[in-house]
Every structure is written in structure tokens, then in C-alpha cells.
Structure 1
């Protein structure tokens, strides 16, 4: 089994299961900060090792700056040091990213997750300058968030090497699903903490040396993904493989009737945790897809009440 300790450069020693927690909304799509905080508490009670508000599942790109700041404050206040809170602060501009980063530090976040700038193309120099300026603005650990399918900006291994040399860049959350890229990145930078960003790769990512996973399935079924991680950590490879198979099935169920993101909040409702709608143009599953999702989750025997 692969060695998968967090990177020596990472003061938070991030490992295990870190869900990208949801942003809850009222029916009018205004942010429900109280329920947002309650969801972070729900996954922590389920055994997760950290929380990541304002990732893709947190619908960060659909929120205003004030709303994003409110979400970070609500989650930090609720979790209050029980596990690390790494807050998403990325934005298309360096200027706005720094403002979010400074705010996250001021309210007590433990680290920041900085998605590569999106919409406009970013070359090597732009990426290095961006991360350097953000890292220089705060004293917090900085985790690079690599998700080229959403940002349009992939990082080369050469660019990652220059980013790794920035003093408080301590890790990378990789959602490229490019396993050779990730394996080479882990190999080249043993001092960094690597978190895989796909539930399809929990087992595989631990095998290639990641210390943990950012798991959307863990937003709904934290116990399941924690069990998988702990089975692997205990050296019980057979159980870990069986649980990864179950995670594959849950992940497929979330895709019933379209968008994966809608699966998370719809499945949460089926567990009795109502985080409200998604913000338009995203939406919850329709009645037919919800019923199909319920049937599939019941067949998998994961749908115990929250």
C-alpha cells in the first residue's frame, strides 16, 4: 500500500476525507447561512477530517462577494477548530482572490483553496504571478485547486514545480482526473499535500500517494467515504476496494436524470437534510429523477436518515 502521509510543508497535515460542503439556500435562492453551517457540522459529525466551503459543490461561482464572505464566517464559527476549515477564495482576478483570501484569514479559516483563474486564458507566468501574489497576501497555507474542465486553464507539471516553490503553497487539490499528471505531481513534490478531487479516484489516489480526497459523496454520506479511507489506512485493501465499488454506485446514482451537482442536494433531502434549492440556473432533480435516485440509493442500502 502506498505511503500517503500529508506533505511535510503542510502545517495542517491535511489527510482523509474533506467534503466540499454545500451552500444552503432559502426557497427564494437567498443564502441560508444557518443551514450552511449545519451542513458543515453534519459532515464533521459523520467523521470527516476537514471541510472545504466554497468549492464547486458550494456553488461559489454563483455567489456575490458578500455572500461568499458570509459562508466562510458561518462555517468557521460553527466548526471552531474541530477540524481544519480550508476556504475557497478563488476568482478570475488576482485582485478579488486576494480580497477573499485576506477576509478568510481575518475570520479564522485554517487555510485557503485557490482555484486557477477562470474564463480568461492563463499562461505559465500569469499562473505563477497570481499564486505568488495571493500567497504573499496572507500567512495561511495555500492549496492550489486544479480543475481544468471548469476553468479552461490546466497547469503543466513545470508550472506546478514553480508554484510549489512559493513559500506557503503547501498542497494541491487535483480535479483534473488526469491520473498520470497527478501521479507525477505527487512523485515530484513529496513535501506537498495532494487531495484528489473525484469520488471515482478515492482508492486509486491513495495508491499513488495522495493523503486524502475532496469528496462530493461525503457531503451526503460522510460515514461511507470515511469508512473507505480508514479501511485503506488500516491496510484492509479488500474492504477498501469493496467500499470504492459502493462509492462508484452512489456517484452514478447522483447522476440520475442529469447534473451531478443536483444529485448531492437531492440526495441530502432524501436523507432528511434539506439544504434548499440550488441557485439558478442550477436546479434540483425533478420528481421522476428524484424517485429514481431514491430507488437506487435504497437498493444500495445507504439511505439511512441523517
Structure 2
């Protein structure tokens, strides 16, 4: 089972929107050095919605090759087309990913039965560990607990990224799911509470800019070190909050450019962080000793 601090890695780009492969390599190396436990390549934070299919697969392969077995790599392979998700998942397995992360279909708003059949079809088509991803605030599609529990019975569906921010709901799922089914937080501000309630880790945006701190945060929370975990989380809260002043990954990519980790490249329809938000994000970074 993959556990701990799992970075939802951004996809660095040049100013023209092309993938910056050199910067991608350096980001992977940084996470290996700073104690990150696993990388999600080309999740939604990695701009999966605007990378074409070839780029999507190339980024996954590049991360897998750079990691070279030193940590698990989770490939973002979700789509609102079941056939497309199967194709991406099969390619992720072919290039050596350890698991796949599959977001609920967006925009087409399937029923709960449609969600069950969608994820079951992908799991049956590709023999690789698969992690569900529920983020209704972005997809307009909320996978209910009963549907997740049905899918948890599918042998290679091994977990879920629970990004509603509803800790009570997440803990209820943890208590009702099979013991070998992992519930991960996908919401940085509430991740500590979910892990203290039995969550197996955090798939994190904040870990892009504070990898060592998020690694320690997850270690403390999963060890039940409640006071220390909450104290560290409170110190990181300015980042958790201000990295979402505009749609993710706009603020986090700007913050990483400020840190000298990559350039400002981002792909339309997303744009570089608005000037009026710079001070808020910079202040949060300073409070958390990131810059």
C-alpha cells in the first residue's frame, strides 16, 4: 500500500506552453531528496486536461524513468470517456507506473451506477492498482460513499483520493471500507484530521513547494502524534489556503517560479497568477519560511 506524503506534481512548462523536461527532472530529484513518499504524474494539478495524449504519456514515462524505482509513481489516467481512461491506464502500466489515479468523469455527470460501471470497466481492462478520485468541486460529479464501497470490492481498486474536505464523511468511509482499501486526503487544509482518523496519506498540492514539511506532517499524523501534527499543519495553513486564491495549479506554479524551481509557463485556458494575488501568495510563502 502506498502511504504518506504524495505530491500532486505540477507539469513545468516554458513560456510558450511546451513541457519543460529539464525542470521536470529537477522536480523529481527534489522530491526524492526531500522525503516525498510518492509522486502523482499528470494528475489534475499536472494539467492533464490540456496536455494532449502523447504529452500525457510522455510525462508519465519521464517521471517513471527518472524515479527509477526509488519511490512509487502514480499516473493520473482519469477521463470523462471510459475508453480514453482505459487507453491511458494501459499505457501507464506499459511504461512502469505503480498505480493509477482516476478522477470521476467531469461535465457529463454520470449516475452512481454509471460511475460504478465506469471504474469497474477500467479496473477489469487493465491489471494495475487503481485509486479513485472524488473532487466534486471541480468535476460537478460526487461519487457517494455507497458507490465507493461497491468499487472497493473490485480487487485492483485499492483506494480513493477523497477531496471533498468533509472529514466526517472521509472517516465514515475509512470505518466502513475493507482494511486494505486506502483513503487518502486530497484537501491540504483538512488532511491532518483525515489522517488522524485513519487516512493513509495526503495527495498534496502544498507538497510541491514544501515537500519536507509535508512529509513530516504526514509522518506525524499517521503516527498519531496529534498535537505535533496539528501544530505543524497550523504553521502551513497560510500555504494551504493561499495556493488556492485562483484555480489550481495557477498559484502553486507561480510560487514555484518564485522559488526558482521552474518558469512561469502554464497552458491556456489557465493563465499566470494575477498581479493582485502575488502579495498574498508571497506573504504565505514567507510565513512558512519557503522564501
Interval containing the TM-score (normalised by the shorter chain): over 0.9
The residue correspondences of 1:128-207 to structure 2 (distance < 5 A) are: 128-189=116-177, 190-207=179-196
Question: How far does residue 98 in structure 1 lie from its aligned partner after superposition?
Answer: 0.4
Partner of 1:277: helix, strand, or coil? coil
Instruction: Describe the superposition over 1:146-195 as per-residue Cα deviations: whole angstroms up to 9, x where unpaired.
Output: 11111111111221121111111011111111222211111111220111
CA distance in 2, matches of 1:159, 1:299: 41
Shift of 1:69: 0.6
The range that moved more, 126-135 or 37-46, is 37-46
Matches within 5 A, 1:3-22: 13-22=1-10
Query: Following TM superposition, by how much is the alpha carbon of 1:127 offset from its aligned partner in structure 2, in angstroms?
Result: 1.3
What number of residue pairs does the alignment pair up? 290
For structure 1, the 5+ residue unaligned runs are: 1-12
Q: Unaligned regions of 5+ residues in structure 2, if any?
A: none
In the alignment, is residue 250 of structure 1 matched against residue 239 of structure 2?
yes
2:87 corresponds to 1:99 = yes
Question: Do the aligned partners of 1:34 and 1:74 also contact (CA within 8 Å) in 2?
Answer: no
Corresponding residue for 1:210? 199
Partner of 2:216: 227
- Give the equivalent residue in structure 2 for 1:60: 48
Counterpart CA distance in 2 for 1:95 and 1:253 is 36
Partner in structure 2 of residue 8 of structure 1: none
Indicate conservation of the 8 Å contact 1:199/1:247, yes or no: no
Aligned twin of 2:23: 35
RMSD: 1.7
Give the Å deviation of 1:121: 1.6
1:287 deviates by 4.4
**TM-score, length of structure 2 as denominator length:** 0.94
Partner of 1:80: 68
Q: Secondary structure at the match of 1:251?
A: helix
In the other structure, the counterpart of 2:260 is: 272
Residue 9 of structure 1: aligned partner: none
TM-score when scaled to structure 1?
0.89
